[in-house]
Amino acid sequence: MSKYLKPYNIFLFIVIITFQIEAQNIYKRTLKLMGSRFDITVIAKDSTEANTHIDTAIDEISRIERLISSWDINSQTSEINRKAGIQPVKVDRELFDLIKRSLAISKLTDGAFDISYASMDRIWKFDGSMTKMPSEADIADSVRKVGFQNIVLDDVNSTVFLKLKDMKIGFGAIGKGYAADKAKSMLIDQGVASGIINASGDMTTWGKQTNGDEWKVAITNPLNKNKAFALLPITDGAVVTSGDYEKYVNFNGKRYTHIIDPRTGYPSTGIISVTVFAPKAELADALSTSVFVMGKDVGLNRINQLPHIECIIIDEDGNIFTSTNIKINKI
């Protein structure tokens, strides 16, 4: 009899584990946070547990918004902007470190990413009201106060100082990714085994689906946004797509996107979609915009030098270019 005991116990163990996995379900909630659409998906045993976890993620994202929002007059970011050219502002270490990482990305991308873009005068309009190009003088003047080199950090005192009067910082190109990362981290700490945070295209995942398959992300075809041209698996990582297929203008036969180079004041040209895969949504968020600004050749070269980062670029003619270690199976 003993020779059947071990196999029986092993079989029983497998049945129990299988039952536990199959008992999990996918729960999703969609809402507006940070001025954008957020889709929060978790795997849980029932709706009560799922809603508790989703509420936790919402609270964390809302906390991040209160910290980094330049629209909230009570935020530390707004205080930094108010004291531009006047005096340094002491901030929470979390905000200080986010700004510090942002400056590192600015250096990495030669200023293609720059949180001081918020200082830019909004002379380009992508709502259909523009009838002609802004003048060269107006474009040059629009970026007069932009420049990450004018953001001074004091590591010891945790202060931030903007050198120029009326200079501003903003986290529009990194904030949603950061919030998604923080919500994901909190849910993992609370024992949520699997899920997705999708912050208007800034997507971060962990774990697997209930059937054991990896989560998959659809890459939108920018020439037909209702269709995807590829479906790629993603596990414990982030993917962010920046596209210009909805906001752009045409002047003199040339297409200008709403993604503007903070160094020159001119919109980016030549690319219509950039998708970046990275371990963190914060980094993928910042790099997707940066590659757009840097252009195909410089952008791919820079991505290929970074470990664990991959990229897909689609140019204005619909041609697809990828970083070295990514393979696309079209659908």
> Stretch 139-167: mean pLDDT, rounded?
97
Is residue 18 in a domain?
Answer: no
Same domain flag for 276 and 152: no
* Domain CATH for 130: 1.10.3980.10
Same domain flag for 144 and 83: yes
Q: Count how many domains the chain has.
A: 2
Q: Is the pTM of this model over 0.75?
A: yes
Is residue 207 in a domain?
Answer: yes
pLDDT digits (tens, 9 = 90+) for 287-296: 999 999 999 9
> Which residues are within 8 A (CB) of 195 and not within 5 positions of it... i.e. 6 or more apart?
40, 41, 42, 43, 53, 184, 187, 205, 206, 207
pLDDT at position 248, please? Answer: 81
What one-character DSSP code corresponds to residue 33? Answer: E
Same domain flag for 230 and 294: yes
Tokens 């689609």, residue located = 314
Average per-residue pLDDT in the chain? 88
- Find how far residue 50's CA is from the centre of its chain: 24
> Stretch 31-55: mean pLDDT, rounded?
96
Q: Which domain holds residue 52?
A: 27-68+174-322
Same domain flag for 50 and 179: yes
Angle, alpha carbons 303-306-312 (nearest 5°): 30
Same domain flag for 92 and 116: yes
Same domain flag for 266 and 209: yes
Same domain flag for 203 and 318: yes
Same domain flag for 51 and 133: no
* Residue 19 burial by Cβ neighbours in a 10 Å radius (0-12, 13-18, 19+): exposed
Q: How far apart are CA 222 and CA 158, in angstroms?
A: 42
Is residue 328 in a domain?
Answer: no
Domain boundary among 113, 135, 162: 162
pLDDT at position 23, please? Answer: 61
pLDDT at position 93, please? Answer: 98
